[in-house]
Structure 1
Amino acid sequence: MKTDFKFSNLLGTVYCQGNLLFSPDGTHLYSPVGNRVTVFNLVDNKSYTLPFSHRKNVARIGLTPQGNLLLSIDEDGQAILTNVPRRVAMYHFSFRSSVTALSFSPSGRYFAVGLGRKLEVWHVPSTPDSNAEGDLEFAPFVRHHTHVGHFDDVRHIEWSSDSRFFLSASKDLTARIWSLNPEGGFTPTVLSGHRQGLVGAWFSKDQETIYTVSKDGAVFDWQYTARPNNDNEMQVEDESNLQWRIVNRHYFMQNSATLRCASFHPESNLLVAGFSNGLFGLYEMPDFNMIHTLSISQNEIDYVTINKSGEWLAFGASKLGQLLVWEWQSESYILKQQGHFDSMNSLVYSPDGQRIVTTADDGKVKVWDIESGFCIVTFTEHTSGVTACEFAKKGNVLFTSSLDGSIRAWDLIRFRNFRTFTAAERLSFACMAVDPSGEVVAAGSLDSFDIHIWSVQTGQLLDRLTGHEGPVSSLAFAPNGGLLVSGSWDRTARIWSIFDRTQTSEPLQLQADILDIAFRPDSLQIAISTLDGQLTFWAVSEAEQVAGLDGRRDVSGGRKITDRRTAANVAGTKSFSTIRYSTDGSCLLAAGNSKYICLYSVTTMVLLKKYTVSVNLSLSGTQEFLSSRHITEAGPAGLLDEQGEASDLEDRIDRTLPGAKRGDPSARKRMPEVRVSSVGFSPNGSAFCAASTEGLLIYSLDNHVQFDPFDLNMEITPASTLAVLKQDKDYLKALVMAFRLNEAGLIQRVFQAIPYTDISLVVEHFPSVYVARLLRYVAAQTEQSPHVEFCLLWIKALVDKHGAWLSANRGKVDVELRVVARALSKMKDEIRKLADDNVYMVDYLLGQAGDKAGGAAKGDEMLLEWTPVADTEVKGLPLSTSGPALHEILDDDDVEVGEEDWIGLE
């Protein structure tokens, strides 16, 4: 089995903190998620996470006007410059202070950052593409200017359209105008008059007006004008009397709510404001006419931004992890996503591998689409934390167990809860298992030591299995059905034959409390994880232990902020709370309250690979050693409650409920602990996912090889490949050369140039090392290309000529065969739908042809039905030419059609 899994995407979290960005064309939205950045494609409805990660949570992101460079800065001022089209981190840089504001100039040559009370302007680093030598620079970040003058943190920076001036809005109640370079007759200007800290300041489109917005909801219009005299006449002739003055004052009037964020679009004079009560408003300036108000969240809106065209508004609310894109003209949502605002408990792949279901302590069940990265449905019927979820082996039926005392069955076609199972008394169910046939569901609780079994069809409680002397912590059905294995805190595992109403063996005695149980896909072996960090493997038929390994040294790592001992001596992280077999049963994936995920070989009992979940120092448990600098007299600095020292009144108010530690979204810890609550392999074995503190991490095999230098030499170039194709007509050699170069355009050109009569000959002598890649390429072409029969001939030839090799290497080409099967089923469905839609039209045409058959005897050239002939070309016209091109050629006076030539299709 391949083990080179790499991080590919992050689901389950859509927004954490910081600012949101639209791409220059307005079709992509950039959102900080923890220490990473996720990009949402709003047109194609897809999302992906950039591969780099910071050492702390991202605080600010900025994008050049060209959209090719992304600058992301974390809470400590550590910056990463990323090439967005290539998704490659180019430079790392430290600003040596926390960054509170960031903005690129419209010219794309400078960017300004707010470092507390200080402003710095930097040159934008040149990319390797724009560099003359094409190499990276030694010192890419060059400071242009430093500006001081504010007395509190700078919160917002806005450039003028010509990039000569920029505005800074600060918490010191003032905004200031700065020039990029020294300007004749210009001095930095202070705009004061607000009574609370400023949220933002913007230029109008003609740059004759400045709008400033403060937290108390005041909007001031500033214009460069003269002071009015006693007769209310403007003294414009005196240049010394001209200065920026307030000409209008407006107020939002939102009762007790305070203004949290605002954004202005100069081209449409649109002002958007978000408030602490979850309400946002749209206003047209300079008259301050209210266009629209809408409540979009239960908590405050943290950030709002507008795309370049002014049509889409993006909102971020960090308390509940919400991200919204709103089209204000049509009053419709473009994007509406929300992650779990509490820790995730379990996950499961759907049988087709296209979706992942997650459950969490917030009582929600979310279904995520893997290809798009979006949550497609959320179930909120559970009233308490959802502890486990599992699919029935066949069909689209999902089962979930919850602490509210219910087991629920969900129909994922109609997206509804169609069955609810409860016990005679109120129990909090902590684990659950479903029979592969989908007929029986079993659950165990922490309150009762019994195992409850229900019938799915009737919803009746069938049986209660007694025998455990402690809470039941894990349940697992055998994949072939019949046997149920239960694990308990009484240090025993029991094997039940529930359909025979007998216990098939004595309890399996272990040395510590059981945390999780996993069945091997062939139903012959089970793996048990215990609290002492041991993994034991048992043969089901003999009920005896066949192997075991000690995982304490592998899983331990990362010292929590409250630990008094070193990471190597802490017992709390030295166990696996979740284990899963791979699809072929050769490997075991294990994880727990640690930053590591371990992959073991079942046959050799060897650790194959360790995957690091997170390097985010904003989480507790990600660093091996703690620094004494962060220890105070009151304990670790990261756990001190500094809410009472906040500068703003609404931040000092404690809204948490007394005694509420779970389920209350306002009671999240400042430094949550890194842990993995559940892992799962995809059905095709090409990926696995992990439910962690940061979200749903997906690790997949890199199937898209960018460059394959296998058997490559200097003579193999695109030009030589095309020469072999056109001049020598050596199609086999040209195709192999194209696959060695692995350029998509070249492969497609060679692929489509091969005559269909030579397909079987080319495939027969095609090297086996490239068969898997050719099969994947043909399957992709089947889904995209209009040449349906051409692609089917390739697939048939591959199966005929290399069927034995494909069978022998099923594990290596399992993904490719699944892609082919999906392409063929998709094509079959499309053809069936097309035939069903046109069956009456075909009957009508056939009937019309039969009615006019007697009137078509006057000349064979006037036949409505076209007849093929021996020749395959009309004066050099290829057989595949049809439609408007054929009519243009036939209408030409120079084309002569003989009696023996075919003139159409039958």
Structure 2
Amino acid sequence: MKTDYKFSNLLGTVYCQANLLFSPDGTYLFSPVGNRVTVFNLVDNKSYTLPFSHRKNISRIGLTPQGNLLLSVDEDGQAILTNVPRRIVLYHFSFKSAVTALSFSPSGRYFVAGVGRKIEVWHVPSTPDSNTEGGLEFAPFVRHHTHTSHFDDVRHIEWSSDSRFFLSASKDLTARIWSLNAEEGFTPTVLSGHRQGVMGAWFSKDQETIYTVSKDGAVFDWQYVAPPNQDDDEMQDDESDLQWRIVNRHYFLQNSATLRCADFHPESNLLVAGFSNGIFGLYEMPDFNMIHTLSISQNEIDFVTINKSGEWLAFGASKLGQLLVWEWQSESYILKQQGHFDAMNSLVYSPDGQRIVTTADDGKIKVWDIESGFCIVTFTEHTSGVTACEFAKRGSVLFTSSLDGSIRAWDLIRYRNFRTFTAPERLSFSCMAVDPSGEIVAAGSIDSFEIHIWSVQTGQLLDRLSGHEGPVSSLAFAPDGGLLVSGSWDRTARIWSIFNRTQTSEPLQLQSDILDIAFRPDSLQIAISTLDGQLSFWAVSEAEQVSGLDGRRDVSGGRKITDRRTAANVAGTKSFNTIRYSTDGSCLLAGGNSKYICLYSVTTMVLLKKFTASVNLSLSGTQEFLNSKLLTETGPASLLDDQGEASDLEDRIDRSLPGSKRGDPSARKRTAEVRVSSVGFSPSGTSFCAASTEGLLIYSLDNTIQFDPFDLNMEITPASTLAVLQQKDYLKALVMAFRLNEAGLIQRVFQAIPYTDIPLVVEQFPTVYVARLLRYVAAQTEQSPHVEFCMLWIKALVDKHGAWLTANRGKIDVELRVVARAVAKMRDDIRRLADDNVYMVDYLLGQAGGDKAGPGEGNAKMLEWTATTNEKDVEVKALPSSTKELDLNGIFKGDAVVENEDEWIGLE
């Protein structure tokens, strides 16, 4: 099994803090999620996370007007310059202090950063106007100049459309006008008059007006005019009195709510403002006409931005982790996503590997689509934290257990809760297991030491299994459905034969409390994780331990800010809370209350690889050594409550409810601890997922083309392979291509084989390469437009090597799953295509049958139509009627003359 898994995507978190950015064409949205940046494709409904990560949470991001360079800055002022199309890091840089505002000039040659109360103008890296010969730079970041006139933090920076001037809005109640270079007759100007901090300042489209917005909801219009009492004649004589003055004052009037964010679109004169009560308003300037207001969140809106065309508004709310894109003209959502509010408890892959279900302490169950990265449905029926989730083998039914005392069954076709199981007395269920047939569901509780078993069909409680002397912590059904294994805090695991007439249990004695149990896919072995950090492996048939390993040294790492001991000696991180077998049963994945995820080999008991879930220093438990300077007389500095020292009134108010520990947004810990609460392998074995503090981390095998030869010798080269292919020795050419393992070469040989020779080639194909060929054909089935060609390959493989596939089902289970998924996807695509075109085919057949002329003439007339594409008309004319017929499937028999054949796209 390959172990070179790499981070590929981050789900479960869509927005944390800082600003949002639209790409120049307005189709992509950049959102900071912790110490990473996620990019949402709003047209294709997909998302991906850039592979780099900061050492702390991101506070500001900026994008060049060309959309090719992304500059992201964390809370300490450490910046990373990224090439967006290639998703690679170009340069690391430090601003030496926290950056509060960042903006690139429309020309793309400069950017301005607000570093505290200072304003720094920098050259954009790799621009021709750098002070070096030939445009080649010794240092990528070159400072142009610095301004230090503000008395408090700079909150917003906006450029003029010609890139000559820029505006800065500050917390010191003023906005200022600056020039990029020295301008004749221009001096930096102060715009003062607001009574609270200025949140934003913008130029109008003609740059004759400046709009400023302050925290108290005041909007001022500034124009370069003479004093109000001066006549026009006097103004012409003396232009020295001209200056920026307030010509209009407007107010939002949102009761006691304060302004949190605002943005202005000069082309359409739209001003959008977000408030602390979760309401946003859209206004048309300069008349300040309100277009509409809408409540989109229960908490304050942290950031708003408008795309270049002015059609879409993007909002971010950090308290609940909400990200919204609103089209104001049609008043509809383009994107509406929200992550879990509380920590995730468990996750499970759907049997087809296309979705991940997560449960959390907030009582919500979310279904995430892996391909798009979006949450497609959220269930909220549970009234308390959801502790476990599991699919029935068929894949359309999901079961969840909760601390509210219920087990619920969900239909993932109609998205509804169709069955609820409860115990006679009130219990909080901590673990759950489902029989592979989907007929029986079992649950264990912390309150009671019994295991409850229900019938899914009737919903009745069938039995209670007694025997444990402590709370039941883990349950697992054997994949073949014969046995149930339970683990408890009484240091025993029990194997139950619940389907036999006499229900017996075989106890397994361990040295410490049991945290998790996992069944190997072949049902012959179980792995047990205990509180002392040990992993023990037991043979199910003999009920005896076959091997074990000590994982305390592997999983321990990371020191929390309250720890008195070093990271190597902390007891709380030295055990695995969650373990899962890989799909083929050769490896075991384990995670716990630390930043490490460990991958072990089951056969050799060796640690294969350690994955670091997070390097974010904003989380507690990611540092190996603590800084003694941050330790004060009263404890760690980051735990001191400085809420009463905040400069703004609303930040000093304590809104927490007395005694409230859950359900109150302000009760979240100041510094979250890094931990991995659940892990899971995908059914295909090509990726695994981990539920961590930062979100849902997906690690997958690198799908890029790599030179990984298989059984290679000196004679096998791409040139010799193509020479054999030209000699039409297809079998030898295909084997040589697979031995080289070059993707481009395999595809060329694969597509060159005539469909009539497929059965003969597959029949003589060596069995050692059958698994590789099966996986390759499945991948081609999902990507290639040659549907029938791929189906012939799959049919030949099953016909010729069916006995070998059956005998080696355990070894090639991953390949068979991939083939089944590819065939199912193709079936759905063809079904959808047929449904879309059924009326067109009926119409064409009706036209052919309804013509009263001769059989040939009717078809010839029907064929003279024009198919319109996006660019030009393509005419398809019939040959003489004697050579034309239309069969029952709507396909033309004979040849047709197609003008401009490349443009013809068929009945669609």
The residue type paired with residue 299 of structure 1 is N
Change (3 A) 1:174 1:823: same
Native 8 Å contact 2:856 2:881 kept in 1:
no
TM-score, normalization: structure 2?
A: 0.88
Q: For 1:884 and 1:622, how far apart are their aligned partners in 2? A: 65
The residue type paired with residue 483 of structure 1 is L
1:822 aligns with 2:826: no
RMSD: 3.7
| Cα drift, residue 282 of structure 1 | 0.2
Change (3 A) 1:883 1:275: farther
1:495 aligns with 2:495: yes
SS in 2 for 1:441: strand
Q: For 1:604 and 1:833, how far apart are their aligned partners in 2? A: 48
Q: For 1:172 and 1:581, how far apart are their aligned partners in 2? A: 58
1:559 aligns with 2:559: yes
| Cα drift, residue 731 of structure 1 | 8.7
Q: For 1:135 and 1:149, how far apart are their aligned partners in 2? A: 32
1:279 aligns with 2:293: no
| Cα drift, residue 95 of structure 1 | 0.7
After superposition, give the CA deviation of every residue in 1:585-609 in whole Å (9 maximum; x if it has no partner). Answer: 1111111100001111111111111
| Cα drift, residue 850 of structure 1 | 12
After superposition, give the CA deviation of every residue in 1:33-92 in whole Å (9 maximum; x if it has no partner). Answer: 000000000000000100000000011111000000111110000111110011001111
1:789 aligns with 2:803: no
After superposition, give the CA deviation of every residue in 1:282-302 in whole Å (9 maximum; x if it has no partner). Answer: 000000000010000000000
| Cα drift, residue 727 of structure 1 | 10
SS in 1 for 2:651: helix
Native 8 Å contact 1:712 1:740 kept in 2:
no
The residue type paired with residue 5 of structure 1 is Y
Q: For 1:559 and 1:423, how far apart are their aligned partners in 2? A: 41
Q: For 1:802 and 1:500, how far apart are their aligned partners in 2? A: 38
After superposition, give the CA deviation of every residue in 1:182-238 in whole Å (9 maximum; x if it has no partner). Answer: 111111110000000011000111111100000000000011111122669872442
Q: For 2:80 and 2:149, how far apart are their aligned partners in 1? A: 28
Change (3 A) 1:430 1:816: closer
Match of 1:146 in 2: 146
Q: For 1:179 and 1:773, how far apart are their aligned partners in 2? A: 63
Counterparts in 2 of 1:441-590, with a 5 A limit? 441-500=441-500, 502-590=502-590
Native 8 Å contact 1:725 1:750 kept in 2:
no
1:419 aligns with 2:419: yes
SS in 1 for 2:240: helix
Change (3 A) 1:809 1:504: closer
Picking from 863, 866, 887, the partner of 2:882 is 863
Counterparts in 2 of 1:230-269, with a 5 A limit? 235-269=235-269
Match of 1:270 in 2: 270
Q: For 1:731 and 1:810, how far apart are their aligned partners in 2? A: 28
Native 8 Å contact 1:274 1:301 kept in 2:
yes
SS in 2 for 1:235: helix
| Number of equivalences | 872
Match of 2:61 in 1: 61
Match of 1:44 in 2: 44
Match of 1:885 in 2: 899
| Cα drift, residue 820 of structure 1 | 4.1
Q: For 1:501 and 1:770, how far apart are their aligned partners in 2? A: 47
Match of 1:402 in 2: 402
SS in 2 for 1:106: coil
Q: For 2:127 and 2:373, how far apart are their aligned partners in 1? A: 30
Native 8 Å contact 2:618 2:671 kept in 1:
yes
| Cα drift, residue 826 of structure 1 | 3.8
Match of 1:894 in 2: none
Q: For 1:352 and 1:25, how far apart are their aligned partners in 2? A: 35
After superposition, give the CA deviation of every residue in 1:626-663 in whole Å (9 maximum; x if it has no partner). Answer: 11011011100111111111111111111112222333
Change (3 A) 1:256 1:581: same
The residue type paired with residue 456 of structure 2 is V
Native 8 Å contact 2:597 2:613 kept in 1:
yes
Native 8 Å contact 1:600 1:607 kept in 2:
yes
Match of 2:120 in 1: 120
Change (3 A) 1:862 1:16: closer
After superposition, give the CA deviation of every residue in 1:258-290 in whole Å (9 maximum; x if it has no partner). Answer: 000000000000000000000000000000000
| Cα drift, residue 862 of structure 1 | 3.9
The residue type paired with residue 822 of structure 1 is R
Counterparts in 2 of 1:736-751, with a 5 A limit? none
Structure 1: stretches of 5+ with no match in the other structure: 869-878, 889-906
Native 8 Å contact 1:342 1:663 kept in 2:
no
SS in 2 for 1:508: strand
Match of 2:868 in 1: none
Q: For 1:331 and 1:428, how far apart are their aligned partners in 2? A: 43
TM-score, normalization: structure 1?
A: 0.88
Q: For 1:275 and 1:791, how far apart are their aligned partners in 2? A: 56
Q: For 1:408 and 1:441, how far apart are their aligned partners in 2? A: 10
Match of 1:429 in 2: 429
Counterparts in 2 of 1:668-747, with a 5 A limit? 668-705=668-705
The residue type paired with residue 207 of structure 2 is Q
After superposition, give the CA deviation of every residue in 1:552-591 in whole Å (9 maximum; x if it has no partner). Answer: 1111100011000011111111011111111111111111
Change (3 A) 1:551 1:755: closer
Change (3 A) 1:766 1:781: same
| Cα drift, residue 775 of structure 1 | 6.0
Native 8 Å contact 1:10 1:48 kept in 2:
yes
| Cα drift, residue 703 of structure 1 | 2.3
Native 8 Å contact 1:317 1:323 kept in 2:
yes
Tell which deviates more after alignment, 661-670 or 142-151: 661-670
Native 8 Å contact 1:724 1:733 kept in 2:
no
Match of 1:31 in 2: 31
Q: For 1:462 and 1:591, how far apart are their aligned partners in 2? A: 34
SS in 2 for 1:100: strand
Counterparts in 2 of 1:63-212, with a 5 A limit? 63-126=63-126, 138-212=138-212
After superposition, give the CA deviation of every residue in 1:292-335 in whole Å (9 maximum; x if it has no partner). Answer: 10000000000000000000000000000000000000000000
Change (3 A) 1:466 1:819: closer
Change (3 A) 1:772 1:234: farther
The residue type paired with residue 667 of structure 1 is A
Q: For 1:279 and 1:825, how far apart are their aligned partners in 2? A: 45
| Cα drift, residue 134 of structure 1 | 13
Change (3 A) 1:208 1:110: same
